[in-house]
Amino acid sequence: MRAARSWIAFGGLLIATISSSGFAIAAQGTQYPAPGKVPAAVDAATLRRIDDGVGQVMQRFNVPGAAVLVLKDGRPLHAKAYGLRDVEEGLAAGTGTPFEIGSITKQFTAAAVVRLQEAGKLKLDDPLARYLPDAPHAHQVTLRQLLGHTSGLHDYFDGPEQEVDALATQPIAFDQLIARIADRPLDFAPGSRWSYSNTGYILLGRVIEVVSGEPYADYVRRHLLQPLGMHHTFSLTDRERLDGMAVGYRHEGGVLRRSPYFHPDWSGAAGFLVSTLDDLARWDRGLAEGRVVSKAGLAEMTTPLRTADGDSTDYGLGLFVNSVYGQRRIGHTGGSQGFTTADEYFPDLGLRIIAFTNLGDKAPEAGITLTNAVFSALHPDIVAAWSRPAAGEDATVTARARASFEQLQAGRGYADFSDSLRTKLDAGLGQGLSRAIGSYGTPASLIYKGTSSSEKGTMFNYVATFGPGVFMPYRVRIDEQGRVAGFALD
């Protein structure tokens, strides 16, 4: 649930923002193969590519266990589990093993809110104050802005990592949780920007309780899970069901260790569900077929919100709506202390890929990396087209971009940056960047994706690749001395 940060710098000002796991940098002039070519069955060669891609990801990032499901037009095409669900006991992961799904929970919360709107019990554009009058900034933000991460409310998970890590395993009252951000000003004017915030979803969980008269977990179970036959989906509050789920792990000082769990008071409506591959596929099918919300409600969930300036946020209501490998993608990732997961749908291909892992490392997240690797195995032609550089590449600029990227990873040097930007990086901001991206390793390639305009000048767009399923957009602006005067890094 703790979102990854992207770091943006223009004109020497380095800013940390929150970003999705996808991006929409398109190579100028790139021609992609026609969509709709996913086969009705997976042949042996494709299965080997899937196994090879998954195996490389698991080996490179030391992922204990994983489970993957591929569906075409809602029908299962391939399912397989890898590795161990419990390292200490030597228990193998299975395709039916329950995994914590983290922020994939948010689409359940969003669907519940939309469902209540369709029942006439609330309106998305109502101010939060109509339901929670004492909540922070309740008169300034709407339910829609909470759902789409445009409220400006600060994230209650923010704070020193070790401190929050320890606190998040302990019970906490709702009022105490919200008190963590109650005295904070809004990060920005509501609707003016997008920034991922778990606070909005914790508040929405309480709104659901107020409007429905039911505890959040009961509402989800009675109105969402049971009607779809999702008998293997439960929450972290269901203690008696936790024994059969995968054990979460993360690396500490380079050593794989069993991870603590978020206490459900902390994750709640923002990310406390546990599920299986089959159950999550049931959810996706029910949502698509209009059995959770109406087709109009689903359209609202999958339409990106726009900021006050008209820019797309690439996020609807509980769902990212972006693109990868030149293909439209709708879905969400989930990340907790010991798990990373992803549920991604490619509408032009009728293709859905779900991946669960019991590794909580965030740089990169194994769940989304596996969905990318499986996509690459299914569609090597599309990925090959996406990997070709755009026309008009300037070798000198590319060399400067690669050198500057590697300096950001190393957290020192910064010889290829302008003086003003180097000063800010040396002052400590560079160390934060190094911690965020250094673990990705040396880029295998830096693919030129053309140019775009910013208010400060021309940006040269690249994608750094790091092996199967791992890539990162990187944009640079070059000053008159040929040095990097601004950059954007997701």
For 252-272, the pLDDT digits (tens) are 999 999 999 889 999 999 999
Q: Residue 244's pLDDT band (boundaries 50, 70, 90)?
A: confident
Q: Residue 39's pLDDT band (boundaries 50, 70, 90)?
A: low
Q: How confident is the model at residue 1, as a pLDDT?
A: 62
Check pLDDT > 50 for residue 41: yes
Backbone dihedral angles phi then psi of residue 472, each to the nearest 5 degrees: -150, 120
Q: Residue 99's pLDDT band (boundaries 50, 70, 90)?
A: very high
Q: What is the mean pLDDT of residues 52-64?
A: 96
- Using a pLDDT cut of 70, give the percent of the chain over it: 92
Least confident of 71-75, 123-127, 405-409, 428-432: 428-432
Check pLDDT > 90 for residue 439: no
* Residue in 386, 365, 383, 363 with CA at minimum distance from that of residue 374: 383
- Average model confidence (pLDDT) across the chain: 91
Q: Residue 50's pLDDT band (boundaries 50, 70, 90)?
A: very high
Check pLDDT > 50 for residue 472: yes
Check pLDDT > 70 for residue 13: no
**What is the CB-side half-sphere exposure of residue 468 using CA atoms within 13 A?**
25
Could you tell me the CA-to-CA distances from 16 to 3, 422, 433 in Å, in that order? 12, 16, 9
Q: Where are the alpha helices (DSSP H) in 343-413?
A: 366-378, 380-387, 395-410
Could you tell me the CA-to-CA distances from 143 to 14, 187, 250 in Å, in that order? 31, 17, 34
Q: Residue 235's pLDDT band (boundaries 50, 70, 90)?
A: very high
Q: What is the mean pLDDT of residues 460-464?
A: 97
* Residue in 419, 470, 416, 476 with CA at minimum distance from that of residue 451: 476
| Chain mean position to CA 395 | 33
Query: How many CB atoms neighbour CB 32 within 10 A?
Result: 18
Q: How confident is the model at residue 40, as a pLDDT?
A: 59
Check pLDDT > 90 for residue 317: yes
| Chain mean position to CA 103 | 8
Query: What's the 3-state SS for 236-254?
Result: CCCHHHHHHCCCCEEEECC
Contact between residue 197 and residue 5 where contact means Cβ atoms under 8 Å apart: no
- How far apart are alpha carbons 217 and 215 in whole angstroms? 6
Q: How confident is the model at residue 455, as a pLDDT?
A: 84
The reply to whether 103 belongs to the active site is yes
Q: Where are the alpha helices (DSSP H) in 86-220?
A: 105-118, 143-147, 161-167, 174-182, 198-212, 216-220
Q: What is the mean pLDDT of residues 19-36?
A: 41
Q: What is the mean pLDDT of residues 48-61?
A: 96
**Sign of the Cα pseudo-torsion (259, 265, 270, 271, in order):** positive
Q: Of the residues 6, 20, 103, 197, which is catalytic?
A: 103
Give 154-178 pLDDT, tens digit per residue.
999 998 888 888 899 999 999 999 9
Q: What is the mean pLDDT of residues 218-230?
A: 98
Check pLDDT > 60 for residue 21: no
- How far apart are alpha carbons 319 and 303 in whole angstroms? 9
Q: How confident is the model at residue 240, as a pLDDT?
A: 76
- How far apart are alpha carbons 116 and 267 in whole angstroms? 22
The better pLDDT of the pair 27, 289 is held by 289
Q: Reduced to 3 states, what is the DSSP secondary structure of residue 461?
A: strand
Could you tell me the CA-to-CA distances from 77 to 42, 73, 354 in Å, in that order? 7, 9, 12
- Do strands 249-252 and 327-335 pair parallel, antiparallel, or not at all (unpaired)? unpaired
